[in-house]
Amino acid sequence: MFTHKIKLFRLFGFSIEADTTWILLAVLVTWSLATGLFPRYFEGFSAQTYWTLAVLGAAGLFMSIILHELGHSLVARRFGLHIKSITLFVFGGVADMEDEPSSARAELLMALAGPATSIALSLAFFGAAFATGRGEGVSPLQGLFQYLGGLNGLLAAFNLLPAFPLDGGRVLRAALWAWRGNLRWATRFASGVGGAFGIFLIALGVLSLFSGNVLGGFWWILIGMFMRSASQSSYQHLLIRRALEGENLRRFMRTDVVTVPRYLSLRELVDEYVYKYHYKMFPVVEGDTVLGCVSTRNIRTVEREAWDRTPVGEIMERSCEANSISPDEDPMRALSRMSQTGNSRLLVLEGDKLAGIITLKDILSFLSLKMDLEDGEQMLE
């Protein structure tokens, strides 16, 4: 989903991050508030005041989104679910949850926690607007509080729409799950509703384009496309998780690993290993100890003329969480790590010893075979 994430700060033990697309949203929101919304609804202020309110309004928007997702995350933690981070991106925010809820009740309470937080924020901001009111007209501070109060109300209302993966869609999934006792079927149904809602937003955007609202039309189309994609990927993610449930990385890893020494030159690495075995990454070892790994991505950082005099040990990456994993880990953790880092191969380490290599291709091949051999109705119900 994300291109590149920037760590901002930590809150209640959760890492708060921002995708690079969030910068675009921050600029658009600030500009639209300073030149459109605030001058239209709160007249008589200077341009400097409007821009100041716009910056504060944008900051309030993003803090409201963070607190909304924090509501989900705190309840998830109560149910023993691990939230890796809360990420701001162009369409809002998302809490990165590693596992599915353990019960329909947990799903319901987690889903409602976000809108409940937004409603509480809305009431608090409207209360602050009332407290800072003056006899005639609206003060800049009161206008800012009114905007944030209405914004959080809209945030709660939109998220309560019964379209998965919005919070309302998760409430729908929880209800269906409790009724039928089947998470897979409930997810498929709720995802279908979410996909249909995405198509509706796309159609709304097209109508807006024809009516002359170009910017609004494109925005609705983008949101609709995101909703449709997110609903489909959520269901696919569940299918993958269920297919890999109970499996161990040892089932997928290759033990006949091709390794390289650290003193090997890059020219020898490319000619004798990369072009021969067609792998993008090789473990770097010294005796029985793994030092790290070297990849084609590392090789590209060195000028071709320097390949003969540059040893592998000079550019290799030390073993770390980004390029390695334990053989006893959940395969979903391996897929998540590959997705986050862009690595299609991970070192499988037992201490500082190399147990094998796990590749994205091998995991996907297993998934394809398992879904092909399993009964279709069993996989989808």
DSSP structural state of residue 256: S
The answer as to whether 179 is a domain residue is no
Whose CA is closest to 66, among 5, 126, 128, 11?
Answer: 11
The answer as to whether 183 is a domain residue is no
Whether 145 and 265 map to the same domain: the answer is no
Give the distance from CA 106 to its chain's centroid.
21
Q: Distance (Å, rounded) from C-alpha 16 to C-alpha 1?
A: 16
Q: Which of 160, 195, 229 is the last residue of a domain?
A: 160
Inter-residue contact 54 to 41 (CB < 8 Å):
no
Predicted pLDDT of residue 60: 93
List the chain residues with pLDDT less than 70: 1-3, 90-91, 98, 134-136, 374-381
Whether 138 and 37 map to the same domain: the answer is yes
Q: Which domain holds residue 330?
A: 249-370
Predicted pLDDT of residue 377: 42
Whether 152 and 258 map to the same domain: the answer is no
Cβ count within 10 A of residue 82 = 11
Residue 101 preceded by cis peptide, ω within 30: no
CATH code, domain carrying 348: 3.10.580.10
The answer as to whether 42 is a domain residue is yes
Give me 160's structure tokens: 């309560």
How are beta strands 14-19 and 83-89 bridged, if at all?
Answer: parallel
Q: Which amino acid is at 83?
A: I
Give me 378's structure tokens: 């069993």
Sign of the torsion angle spanned by Cα atoms 40, 43, 48, 54: negative
How many distinct structural domains can be found in the chain? 2
Whether 13 and 116 map to the same domain: the answer is yes
Whether 130 and 270 map to the same domain: the answer is no
Residues with Cβ within 8 Å of residue 276, at least 6 apart in sequence: none
The answer as to whether 213 is a domain residue is no
E strands, 186-272, where?
Answer: 260-261
Whether 141 and 268 map to the same domain: the answer is no
Whose CA is closest to 151, among 68, 216, 61?
Answer: 61
318-345: pLDDT as tens digits: 988 888 898 888 888 888 788 777 888 9
Inter-residue contact 43 to 11 (CB < 8 Å):
no
Whether 156 and 288 map to the same domain: the answer is no
Q: Which amino acid is at 187?
A: T
Whether 153 and 292 map to the same domain: the answer is no
Q: Which of 125, 160, 195 is the last residue of a domain?
A: 160
The answer as to whether 379 is a domain residue is no
Whether 11 and 146 map to the same domain: the answer is yes
Whether 152 and 296 map to the same domain: the answer is no
The answer as to whether 171 is a domain residue is no
CA atoms within 13 A on the CB side of 349: 23
Whose CA is closest to 319, among 354, 344, 287?
Answer: 354
297-319: pLDDT as tens digits: 999 999 999 999 999 999 999 98
Residues with Cβ within 8 Å of residue 192, at least 6 apart in sequence: 231
Whether 259 and 152 map to the same domain: the answer is no
0.85 surpassed by pTM? no
The answer as to whether 138 is a domain residue is yes
The answer as to whether 237 is a domain residue is no
Whether 258 and 114 map to the same domain: the answer is no
Q: Which of 120, 142, 160 is the last residue of a domain?
A: 160
